[in-house]
Amino acid sequence: MKTPNYLVPGLYMADPSAHVFNGRLYIYPSHDVDAGIPENDNGDHFDMRDYHVYSTDDIENGRLTDHGVILDVKSIPWSGRQLWDSDVACRDGQYYLYFSLKDRNDVFHIGVAVSDQPEGPFTSLDSFIKGSYSIDPCVYQDSDGSHYMFFGGLWGGQLQRYRNNKAIECGHEPADDQPALCAKVVRLADTMIDFAEEPRDLVILDEMGAPLTAGDHDRRFFEASWMHFYKGKYYFSYSTGDTHRLCYATSDSIYGPYTYQGVILTPVVGWTTHHSICEFKGKWYLFHHDSVPSGGRTWLRSMKVVELEYNEDGTIRTIEGQ
């Protein structure tokens, strides 16, 4: 699969989170709708309201089963609006859906919903994770069985409103020559519904060992955290947001620091680049989206997949956006 394939023609699905459960590939996207809201930097036009899940045992031929709606914003007790990116993890036969959602004060938090099967449906807990904020949760299970969450997103994702896990009076990004705001990493409690510690900064260093700066928009973190492990290294991948690149950095430790390595995906049609990386049946795949089918409307995105390839030294071969 050298050319990206659209996975769900006719439906606007974005931010695909892919996992293998019980030998089958499951994809958890967000669901774009045309809400008639003008586009702006706060992302109000991304007014998603429910989640579907898709599964397949033949991703090469794109044969996906749509299991229907697995969670709706109306069924979440603390919901306000904007059901953004999500991810799913499994522990002891239970499946946990982690989702971004604004509360009734228009503040993003990360919620949890639970199911006894990967295709759902999922039932939301009564409240969000205590101490959670911002968007784009990604949950990774390490080799010792511990689960870690990576999260955060600038601008509409509200990460600039926090320092040291506390809300600040006036949210702003640092000056261009100052260290960039970081994605967050936190170990989950064994319950899978609480943080086991305070979230930490996931620091990305340049080739000289200095933290990436806020003005380095071609490389600094913006949103869309993802974690995978390959040949003894942790690979943290993310979107640069306003420069529309999908980049990655590597580390020997899950907490980092990470060293910037390069571009996974060059810009595609549409504003955001949100993704996941998953191994299935001996091949690695990049799941992402673009806005080609909707005529370039950034809030109506379509899910895609393409094979991901590594060089001998472990670096990822850059994929040209199409």
- Compute the 3-state secondary structure of the chain and give helix, strand, coil in percent, each to the nearest 5: 5, 45, 50
Which is the catalytic residue, given 85, 119, 136, 223? Answer: 223
Task: Please confirm whether the linkage preceding 257 is cis (ω < 30° from 0).
Answer: yes
Which of these, 4, 10, 6, 8, lies nearest to 294 by C-alpha position?
Answer: 10
How far, in whole angstroms, is CA 159 from its chain's centroid? 14
> Are the C-beta atoms of 186 and 106 separated by less than 8 Å?
no
Would residue 15 show up in a list of annotated catalytic residues for this protein?
yes
For the chain, what are the domain ranges? 5-308
> Are the C-beta atoms of 217 and 242 separated by less than 8 Å?
yes
Which is the catalytic residue, given 15, 87, 119, 201? Answer: 15
Per residue of the chain (322 residues), what is the pLDDT tens digit?
Answer: 566 688 998 899 999 999 999 999 999 999 999 989 998 988 999 999 999 999 999 998 878 999 999 999 999 999 999 999 999 999 999 999 999 999 999 999 999 999 999 999 999 999 999 999 999 999 999 999 999 999 999 999 999 999 999 999 989 999 999 999 999 999 999 999 999 999 999 999 999 999 999 999 999 999 999 999 999 999 999 999 999 999 999 999 999 999 999 999 999 999 888 999 999 999 999 999 999 999 999 999 999 999 999 999 999 999 998 7
Q: What is the CA radius of gyration of the chain?
A: 18
Would residue 223 show up in a list of annotated catalytic residues for this protein?
yes
d(CA 272, CA 291): 9
Residue 19 has, within 13 A of its CA and on its CB side, a CA count of 22
Type of residue numbered 23 = G
* Residue 206 DSSP label: -
**CATH superfamily, region 5-308:** Glycosyl hydrolase domain; family 43 (2.115.10.20)
pLDDT at position 153, please?
98
d(CA 189, CA 82): 26
d(CA 136, CA 163): 18
Helix (H) or strand (E) holding 305: strand 302-308
Helix (H) or strand (E) holding 238: strand 233-239
